[in-house]
A and B are shown apart, each in its own frame.
Chain A
Amino acid sequence: MIDIRALSARLGDFELRDVTFDVPASAYGVVIGPAGSGKTTLLEAIAGVVTVRSGEVHLGNRNVTTSAPDERGVGLVYQHGYLFPHLSVLDNLRYGARDAAVVEELVARFEIASLRERDVRSLSGGERQLVSLARALARRPAVLLLDEPFAALDPRRRGKTRREVRALHREWGFTALQVTHDFTEAGLLGDVAVLLDAGKVLQFGPPEQVFRRPKSPYIAEFLGAENVFAGTARVLADAAPDWLEEPRLGGDPASLAHGYHAIEFTSGPLTLYTVGSAGDGPCYAVIRSEEVTLSLTPQSTSARNEFQGRVTEVGTLGAFARVTVDVDGVPLVAAVTTRSVQEMGLREGAVVWAGFKAFAVHLC
């Protein structure tokens, strides 16, 4: 378990301020945030190599705030590897290893047998990352701290290594905390996501919740939400529409028991319907582009927020496309498959219906 309580630490001019979050035992946490947000400093403070000014660091069930790094049972993998250049690859792997068998197992699992006798200085960035990962794991740490450990790997090797680390995490049961810029990676790996900015935790929780329920429009936009609208919410408590009670149409009756209610949100010419706990007043509506569906004819369901518009841009990226639809002057972005774009014949000027479920609208 990693339990960080009101942690403040300073490194040069940079400061972590009042950082609080926890990653349960044997869970995989991911830290996301813009460059310079303090992600690496956070890992270093947990590892004990950056002095904590206030707050507490608990690893397992121990308060290790004042413990030396070698007494914390942590492994630390930097983005650049920091392999010791005066040692061979094999000596790097053996540096803190519990035993030779573990080293051999990791060499096999990360497929780095051919690197064993190589001079560290001759390794590529990706090879260094693999050796660095294996070196940290060879110690069998209770907590593994990873600072963008796959960033220099090619896509094929990245996926393979990611799966291997996740498999080791399951088999060995260590708690992991990984810094990443890759939202897909965060979603794939993380049981807990921590969003850090300017040395502060903006939000933490399950990745699904952080991505779908951002606490602010800034977080939403940072996490790649393209449809963020400023507007005004109005609670429809006395006039809850039928769809709120109907799961088939996007509603969730169970949510009502948690104090949720139907809400009408107005942003310029757009009026959206959603469900949540927000009250009346100005706020932002966030709709992730992958929640927006496109059709050539209206879908006959009251559960959907549906608008007719005209396609203004179609940008394709491999198997997926990003289609921008102008709805009365408001751009609404939908992420659809390239195949759908072809089948629907979507191109600039095409008239389409853009829709999304009430539960896809998040107010913050």
Chain B
Amino acid sequence: MASESTTSSGPRLKHGVLTVLAALGGSLLLLFLAAPVAELIITGGVEGLARLGTDAELRQALTLTVLTATTATLIGVACGTPVAYLLSRRAFRGRALVSAILDLPLLIPHPVAGIALLLVFGRQSAVGSTLLELGLRVVGSPVGIVCAMLFVSAPLYISGAREAFARVDPRYEAVARTLGDDAWRSFRRVTLPLSRRGMVAASVVMWARAVSEFGAIVILAYNPKVASILSVDRLTTFGLDEALPVAGVMAVLALIPLTVLRALRHDRSVTVLP
């Protein structure tokens, strides 16, 4: 009996130690992720929100950030949805290449993405000079900010929307087609409502990524300043105290998509089942 007890307590002890280590590791990581943001919101967020009434530059930067991120997201949704649908539904020659192109902006460093965009849209480039002749300035303008945001965040939307479409069984569309819907109508009446939650989540992720973008924007359009540029600008010019309110407000801003995503996770209005 004694030896049986000793034999069975060995694995139990090992299991216990592993559980404690796993819990400790997980807790430390959570603390590492949450503590700086919490500290930022507590020290800078409150002051930043209070400064919104008096700090015109901060107000303008936040407005510009929200507007450009929303514009980039709308363009991404409008142009990315067909691509996402195509990738989730059709097997076609070059699909792997299209997927790789979409993954590229996620893999390259964002300043490098900014340089690449500068090469295409800079004044010396064919595209940039043509656009300038047409009165559309990309570099150093809100258009450039939208371009930079779109470049780095659209792949996230396409990837999320593609997954959302993939979760909708194509047989729903097949049934809708035999019930008299053409392809567009079945997409609008069946596919879209069934993938709505995933698509909204993907667009929220894209918006959040666009809001937080710095690396590509700093190359393509340092001015007018979006919030992320402003926070770094104030850090380098005036020091941490001046940067904190801007960074704090941005951290508060990040809570909006987080809340939306959590709400979507609890939305059970659409459950896909045969």
Q: Does A48 contact B (CB under 8 A)?
A: yes
Which A67-84 residues sit within 8 Å CB-CB of chain B?
Answer: 68-70, 72, 74-76, 78, 80-82, 84
State whether A70 touches B172 (Cβ < 8 A).
Answer: no
State whether B182 touches A70 (Cβ < 8 A).
Answer: yes
CB distance from A122 to the nearest CB of B (A): 11
Most chain B CB within 10 A, of A69, A135, A145, is at: A69
**Interface membership of chain A positions 77-94, coded 1 if the CB is closer than 8 angstroms to chain B and 0 otherwise:** 010111011100000000
State whether B177 touches A84 (Cβ < 8 A).
Answer: no
**Which residues of the partner chain A approach B176 to less than 8 Å between Cβ atoms?**
84, 95-96
State whether B171 touches A96 (Cβ < 8 A).
Answer: no
**Interface membership of chain B positions 170-214, coded 1 if the CB is closer than 8 angstroms to chain A and 0 otherwise:** 111111111111110000001001100000000000000000000
State whether A135 touches B179 (Cβ < 8 A).
Answer: yes
Select from chain B the residue with minimum beta-carbon distance to A95.
B179
State whether A78 touches B177 (Cβ < 8 A).
Answer: no
The number of chain B residues with a CB under 8 A from chain A is 24
The distance in angstroms between the C-alpha atoms of A145 and B190, with both chains bound, is 21
**Which residues of the partner chain A approach B178 to less than 8 Å between Cβ atoms?**
47, 49, 69-70, 72, 74-76, 96, 136, 139, 141, 145
State whether A69 touches B174 (Cβ < 8 A).
Answer: yes
Which B189-243 residues sit within 8 Å CB-CB of chain A?
Answer: 190, 193-194
Select from chain B the residue with minimum beta-carbon distance to A144.
B178
State whether A78 touches B274 (Cβ < 8 A).
Answer: yes
**Which residues of the partner chain A approach B172 to less than 8 Å between Cβ atoms?**
82, 84
State whether A82 touches B271 (Cβ < 8 A).
Answer: no
State whether B273 touches A49 (Cβ < 8 A).
Answer: no
State whether B174 touches A76 (Cβ < 8 A).
Answer: yes
The distance in angstroms between the C-alpha atoms of A47 and B173, with both chains bound, is 12
**Which residues of the partner chain A approach B55 to less than 8 Å between Cβ atoms?**
none
State whether A68 touches B183 (Cβ < 8 A).
Answer: yes
Q: Does B120 contact A (CB under 8 A)?
A: no
Q: Does B272 contact A (CB under 8 A)?
A: yes
**Which residues of the partner chain A approach B182 to less than 8 Å between Cβ atoms?**
68, 70
State whether A139 touches B177 (Cβ < 8 A).
Answer: no
The distance in angstroms between the C-alpha atoms of A136 and B179, with both chains bound, is 7
The number of chain A residues with a CB under 8 A from chain B is 26
State whether A82 touches B272 (Cβ < 8 A).
Answer: no
Q: Does A44 contact B (CB under 8 A)?
A: yes
Q: Does B169 contact A (CB under 8 A)?
A: yes
Q: Does B2 contact A (CB under 8 A)?
A: no
State whether A85 touches B273 (Cβ < 8 A).
Answer: yes
State whether A96 touches B274 (Cβ < 8 A).
Answer: no
The distance in angstroms between the C-alpha atoms of A235 and B181, with both chains bound, is 60
**Which residues of the partner chain B approach A53 to less than 8 Å between Cβ atoms?**
none
**Interface membership of chain A positions 85-115, coded 1 if the CB is closer than 8 angstroms to chain B and 0 otherwise:** 1100000000110000000000000000000
Q: Does A163 contact B (CB under 8 A)?
A: no
Q: Does B270 contact A (CB under 8 A)?
A: yes
- Asked, given contacts A44-B174, A78-B171, A95-B176, whether A86 binds B270 with beta carbons under 8 Å apart, the answer is yes
Which A43-66 residues sit within 8 Å CB-CB of chain B?
Answer: 44, 47-49
**Which residues of the partner chain A approach B180 to less than 8 Å between Cβ atoms?**
70, 96, 139
**Interface membership of chain A positions 247-273, coded 1 if the CB is closer than 8 angstroms to chain B and 0 otherwise:** 000000000000000000000000000
CB distance from B167 to the nearest CB of A (A): 12
State whether A121 touches B177 (Cβ < 8 A).
Answer: no
The distance in angstroms between the C-alpha atoms of A86 and B196, with both chains bound, is 11
**Which residues of the partner chain B approach A81 to less than 8 Å between Cβ atoms?**
274
The distance in angstroms between the C-alpha atoms of A78 and B172, with both chains bound, is 10
CB distance from B57 to the nearest CB of A (A): 46
- Asked, given contacts A68-B182, A85-B194, A139-B180, whether A80 binds B174 with beta carbons under 8 Å apart, the answer is no
**Which residues of the partner chain A approach B271 to less than 8 Å between Cβ atoms?**
85, 121
**Which residues of the partner chain B approach A121 to less than 8 Å between Cβ atoms?**
271, 273
State whether B177 touches A48 (Cβ < 8 A).
Answer: yes
The distance in angstroms between the C-alpha atoms of A75 and B175, with both chains bound, is 8
The distance in angstroms between the C-alpha atoms of A72 and B181, with both chains bound, is 12
CB distance from B175 to the nearest CB of A (A): 5
**Which residues of the partner chain A approach B274 to less than 8 Å between Cβ atoms?**
78, 80-82
- Asked, given contacts A84-B190, A86-B194, whether A76 binds B175 with beta carbons under 8 Å apart, the answer is yes
State whether A70 touches B177 (Cβ < 8 A).
Answer: yes
**Which residues of the partner chain A approach B183 to less than 8 Å between Cβ atoms?**
68
**Which residues of the partner chain A approach B269 to less than 8 Å between Cβ atoms?**
86
The distance in angstroms between the C-alpha atoms of A74 and B273, with both chains bound, is 23
The 8 closest A-B pairs by CB, nearest first: A96-B179, A80-B274, A69-B177, A49-B174, A76-B178, A96-B180, A86-B193, A82-B175
A selection of 9 A-B contacts at a CB cut-off of 8 Å is A47-B178, A49-B173, A69-B177, A69-B178, A82-B171, A84-B194, A85-B272, A121-B271, A139-B180
Seed contacts A68-B177, A85-B194, A85-B271; 11 additional CB < 8 Å A-B pairs:
A47-B177, A68-B182, A69-B174, A70-B178, A76-B174, A78-B274, A82-B174, A84-B194, A86-B193, A96-B179, A135-B179
Interface set of A (CB-CB < 8 Å, partner B): 44, 47-49, 68-70, 72, 74-76, 78, 80-82, 84-86, 95-96, 121, 135-136, 139, 141, 145
